[in-house]
Structure 1
Amino acid sequence: MSAETLQCPVPKALAAALFAAALVAPWTDPAQASSHREAPFIASLPQVDATDFYMFNSYEAGRSGYVTLVANYLPLQDAYGGPNYFHLDPNAVYEIHIVNDGGAVENITFQFKFQNTLDDNQLTVGGKKVSIPLVQNGSADVATVNSPALNVHETYTINVIYGPRATGTPQPVVNTTKGGITTFDKPVDNIGMKTISNYLVYANKHVWDIRIPGCDGIGRVFAGQRRDPFVVNQGETFDLVNIKYPATELNPVAEFATVDSLADANVTAIELEIPVACLTQGKGTIIGGWTTASLPATRALGAVTPGLDGAQQVSG
């Protein structure tokens, strides 16, 4: 689960209807579709817009007994998208669901909730204390977890629910890397090399070992900015599919004949690596998975609220 290349602002020189089926035998079905803010409702809520969901057998050396789950959110992040960059919504619940019995109702759900903490660093200007408007304070290179050089810190918690998510009991997932606490630090986005001299090293410090209730073995988790893995000629596609020779049957090099609109875009990835047995629960070798995001619902007094704990599902 080492971090991959992502776009950063330097001078130029991991409701999407996302379902993946995986075999913990040697093959996987591909994920279906990709959402990059094309639905009218979700276009106004980019923080809970799911782009893609991926699920596959881990292929890193020594991780053959694990399955990797990746839910990508908040699409079309520009590398230069400051000064606030791209925090996830602290009012939302982000979830990865697993079904292992061939049914249509989740058997396991991993719930993520994010929190942003403002240090309110201040400078003296004209004899008065003035709060800085940046997520970094410039006091040092951002190189460590919970760096004092950051003005805004993002953390998250994870719960696991067995059975239907609406009626099951959330149980906290433990950060064993940090001695058994239940909070996890998320790296700040890749602001640039003056703020973070080595983003790869910095981001990799946020890969945490986890212990999941009801699961033997240690898993891993990472949540943070990644390069968008999806490929699409988005501009010409939505210009009434203004693509000349889109099929390789008409043009053998069609897939290389146009641009990838997402080549310079990032997403926020929520990644889990879980022991196979924890997902199959002895029920077979095929599992399915999908991701959803939910926000609190506004409702009239006495109305029935859909979703979980008053949460309205908005993506998934």
Structure 2
Amino acid sequence: MNRIALIGRLAPIAAAAALAATTLPALASSHREAPFITGAPKVDGTDFYMFRSYETGRSNYVTLIANYQPLQAPYGGPNYFNLDQNALYEIHLDNNGDAKEDLTFQFRFTNTLANGGRGLELPAGKKNVAIPLIQAGPVANVADANLNVAQTYSVIMMKGDRRRGEPWTITNADNGSATFDKPADNIGTKTIPDYPGYAAKHIYNINIPNCSAPGKMFVGQRAEGFAVNLGVVFDLVHAPIEVITDPTKIGLFPNTIADSNVTTLALEIPISCLTQGSEPVIGGWTTASVRQTHNIDATPKSGLNKVDKDAGDWVQVSRLGMPLVNEVVIGLKDKDKFNASQPAGDGQFLTYVSNPTLPKLLEIALPLPNSAPTNYPRSDLTTTFLTGLPGVNQPMNVVASEMLRLNTSIMPVPYAQQNRLGVLGNILAGGTDLAGYPNGRRPKDDVVDISLVAMMGGLCMANGNTNALGLGEKCKPKYVPLGTTSYNLHDAVDQAATPFLSTFPYLNTPTPGAQ
């Protein structure tokens, strides 16, 4: 179906459908969302973006961005934020709707100390002594001589099962190497005067096995792209109701994490190398895993040798598909369990989706007595949240499961024309942007505001008593007593005000530790 025909078919339902897949995750990004992961920030997945590339001339590509290590303070030296060389970072793709990975990109990292493992040294008296910092002067180039520590990485593409499938090596399209350099974090403008230029040298053209065209890859620190007022949100939504229902007051609150950084794993891959047969929809999620056994070495040696002894199978400790799910939907007692789970087993979490508690918490916090929807089980949420939106991003043969889903046949929209409310915002305004959240997720998409509308019954509001959207008789109106202003619910932080790049890797230059 061409795009014009698709838009015509979806116009009556898209305003509500856009809400359905976004309803469950709401209010804050997936940072430190489960008890275990708070003590393991290097393997904490924070955000996952998946969208058809909107850089000029790259519309036949899909961009995948997986962020880890939340809330990095730019001044957090002297060691900064290299990823864990004892961990396995993965981006999984399901291209036939069966809730199992068909392609997995596996990232492994290695730290190397300069000077043959002795580290950079300076003369002190009659001796050469190892320096205490990760740099000995200005840094401008890949594998710069002034870097005391280099972090490199390799990427394996697994076809089929992530552990038992067929491994293929990703290589540098320019020199054939299977080893890539990660740029140092943005220490400050004296150490790295031109960080955008320095980081750009670490964008690689890559060969992807059995793919007719090269892709792109970047791994390194980026500015936090998620906008939210964390303090207000988790203090029982400490904001006046007249503020969060007035669209003129979007941006009234500060983005409290605007100066934070994250570590990004970004891939840009031809669509034809990701899809299977006539199915245009792909589903994606990220994970991080560590070894089952972790024993501290009581007698570590000098250098950057591992100071621990890891062994056993890989154990998954982080999972992220659609944003915010584990943080505000899954019950506290099952958060670690969700992080260890696979989409194919999501039936065990169905009650959290069909009978969510967040609307009741919002009812208490705002306060708005007796305002939470009571149409349990929430068919308005479960229908589209676990399968994708019918006619938008639902695979032809789908197994219900939680993941971010993207219809690769829908054309991208240039950055300047994107609506921060994704599909919902453009349909309500009479537009045609079907390329945003929940059809994948772009950096500019305001997933918090979209979710707030749906959380209190926005989907059923559109469905009404006529079952026009095919959501079933249980989808009866029962809404926040705000009338049509429920479509104006927001967190008073404007996601669209966050600066992004219009080219790969899209997330902006990280905040420097010193100006």
Give the TM-score, by structure 2 length: 0.52
Question: How far apart, CA to CA, are the structure 2 residues paired with 1:154 and 1:262?
Answer: 26
Counterpart of 1:86 (choices 81, 85, 91) is 81
Q: Does the 8 A contact of 1:101 with 1:283 survive in 2?
A: no
Structure 1 residues 234-273: Cα deviation after superposition (integer angstroms, max 9, x where no partner): 1222223323338642x33443121211100010010000
Displacement after TM superposition at 1:116 (Å):
1.0
Partner in structure 2 of residue 192 of structure 1: 188
RMSD of aligned residue pairs (Cα, Å):
2.2
Partner in structure 1 of residue 511 of structure 2: none
Matched, 1:287 2:282: yes
Mapping for residues 71-220 of structure 1, pairs under 5 Å = 71-119=66-114, 120-138=119-137, 141-177=138-174, 179-220=175-216
- Give the residue type in structure 1 aligned to 2:239: I
Displacement after TM superposition at 1:197 (Å):
0.9
Question: How far apart, CA to CA, are the structure 2 residues paired with 1:228 and 1:131?
Answer: 33
Q: Does the 8 A contact of 1:221 with 1:271 survive in 2?
A: yes
Question: How far apart, CA to CA, are the structure 1 residues paired with 2:135 and 2:104?
Answer: 34
Query: Quick one: structure 1 residues 283 and 143, their matched pair in 2 at CA, closer, same or farther if it must change by over 3 Å?
Result: same
Query: Quick one: structure 1 residues 44 and 246, their matched pair in 2 at CA, closer, same or farther if it must change by over 3 Å?
Result: farther
Partner in structure 2 of residue 272 of structure 1: 267
Matched, 1:56 2:51: yes
Partner in structure 2 of residue 4 of structure 1: none
Query: Quick one: structure 1 residues 126 and 231, their matched pair in 2 at CA, closer, same or farther if it must change by over 3 Å?
Result: same
Question: How far apart, CA to CA, are the structure 1 residues paired with 2:186 and 2:31?
Answer: 21
**Greater fraction helix:** 2
Q: Does the 8 A contact of 1:109 with 1:165 survive in 2?
A: yes
Question: How far apart, CA to CA, are the structure 1 residues paired with 2:224 and 2:262?
Answer: 5
- Give the residue type in structure 1 aligned to 2:62: V
What is the percentage of aligned positions where both structures have the same residue?
53
Q: Does the 8 A contact of 1:100 with 1:283 survive in 2?
A: no
- Give the residue type in structure 1 aligned to 2:152: T
Partner in structure 2 of residue 227 of structure 1: 223
Displacement after TM superposition at 1:171 (Å):
1.4
Q: Does the 8 A contact of 1:111 with 1:160 survive in 2?
A: yes
Question: How far apart, CA to CA, are the structure 1 residues paired with 2:123 and 2:275?
Answer: 58
Q: Does the 8 A contact of 2:45 with 2:69 survive in 1?
A: yes
- Give the residue type in structure 1 aligned to 2:219: A
Structure 1 residues 58-99: Cα deviation after superposition (integer angstroms, max 9, x where no partner): 111111110000000001011111110100000111000011
Larger Rg: 2
Displacement after TM superposition at 1:215 (Å):
1.6
**Greater fraction strand:** 1
- Give the residue type in structure 2 aligned to 1:227: A
Displacement after TM superposition at 1:216 (Å):
1.6
Partner in structure 2 of residue 16 of structure 1: none
Aligned residues: 280
Structure 1 residues 208-237: Cα deviation after superposition (integer angstroms, max 9, x where no partner): 011111222100100000011111111222
Displacement after TM superposition at 1:126 (Å):
3.4
Structure 1 residues 168-212: Cα deviation after superposition (integer angstroms, max 9, x where no partner): 0221111112x1010111110011111111000000010001111
Residue 217 of structure 1: SS of its match in structure 2?
A: coil
Partner in structure 2 of residue 245 of structure 1: 241
Question: How far apart, CA to CA, are the structure 2 residues paired with 1:286 and 1:195?
Answer: 44
Residue 164 of structure 1: SS of its match in structure 2?
A: coil
Segments of structure 2 that go 5 or more residues without pairing to the other structure are 1-5, 8-13, 295-311, 320-515
- Give the residue type in structure 1 aligned to 2:204: W
